[in-house]
């Protein structure tokens, strides 16, 4: 009887321990605690380097290209982001789901002096579209702000008709392998293409990491 009780107790302890670990992993899939970093390099409207995490891709927002391809409002968005980061007294990051993308970039929400930078970019009309690889903590709020920016015709939307742009571009049926810029390439390959792919062009590999037009 005592042996049976010991076995049952051991099973219960193991189960509780497993539940605790699993819950901890699950908690990481939600927006985590903010942590303070410093800017080391600003790349463009949605990418920067920070201490502790290295190259970081801002969660959910996609601003126009501003380096090799000069898309409308690309430089404006980049200048705004870099200005906000450089003058910020305090920069904080926040994880929300997977911490890395397939290009090994850190995925984060970015806070500048207590304000969510992604939210500011959307309000200014500098976010072209959203990339949705999961459910994010501030997703619904950003979608509402995007619709408001479109309605008010600010930034990118100043010369465009208001339309819903919170969905990922769908891949059309085409055999085209040569593209003028990343905007055109992403209509066919939404996440970019690796070196060796028929559509890869080194001119579109802005960070020279062997992947062109990645998000």
How far out from the chain centre does Cα 71 lie? 19
CA distance 31 to 116: 13
Q: Residues 30, 71, 105, 186: which is the catalytic one?
A: 105
Cβ pair 118, 110 in contact under 8 A: yes
The DSSP code for 65 is P
Active site includes 153? Answer: no
Active site includes 65? Answer: yes
Active site includes 214? Answer: no
Q: Residues 25, 28, 30, 57: which is the catalytic one?
A: 57
Q: Which residues 6+ apart lie within 8 Å of 13 measured at CB?
A: none
Please report how the helices 139-152 and 117-124 are oriented relative to each other, as an axis angle in degrees rounded to 10. 20
**How many C-beta neighbours within 10 Å does residue 202 have?**
11
CA distance 161 to 173: 26
Token duo for residue 160: 């465009």
Q: Residues 25, 28, 65, 141: which is the catalytic one?
A: 65
Coil vs helix vs strand at 190: coil
Tell me the catalytic residues: 57, 65, 105
């Amino acid at each position: 009887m005592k042996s049976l009780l010991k076995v049952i107790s051991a099973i219960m302890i193991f189960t509780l321990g497993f539940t605790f670990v699993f819950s901890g992993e699950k908690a990481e899939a939600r927006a985590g605690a903010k942590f303070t970093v410093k800017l080391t390099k600003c790349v463009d409207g949605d990418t920067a380097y920070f201490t502790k995490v290295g190259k970081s891709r801002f969660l959910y927002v996609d601003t126009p290209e501003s380096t090799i391809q000069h898309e409308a409002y690309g430089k404006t968005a980049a200048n705004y982001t870099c200005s906000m980061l450089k003058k910020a007294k305090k920069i904080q990051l926040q994880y929300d789901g997977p911490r890395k993308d397939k290009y090994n970039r850190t995925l984060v929400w970015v806070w500048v002096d207590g304000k969510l930078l992604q939210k500011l970019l959307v309000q200014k009309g500098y976010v072209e579209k959203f990339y949705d690889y999961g459910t994010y903590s501030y997703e619904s709020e950003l979608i509402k702000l995007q619709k408001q920016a479109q309605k008010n015709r600010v930034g990118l939307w100043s010369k465009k008709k208001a339309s819903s742009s919170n969905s990922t571009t769908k891949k059309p049926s085409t055999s085209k392998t040569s593209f003028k810029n990343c905007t055109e390439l992403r209509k066919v390959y939404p996440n970019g293409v690796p070196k060796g792919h028929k559509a890869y062009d080194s001119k579109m590999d802005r960070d020279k990491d062997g992947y062109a037009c990645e998000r």
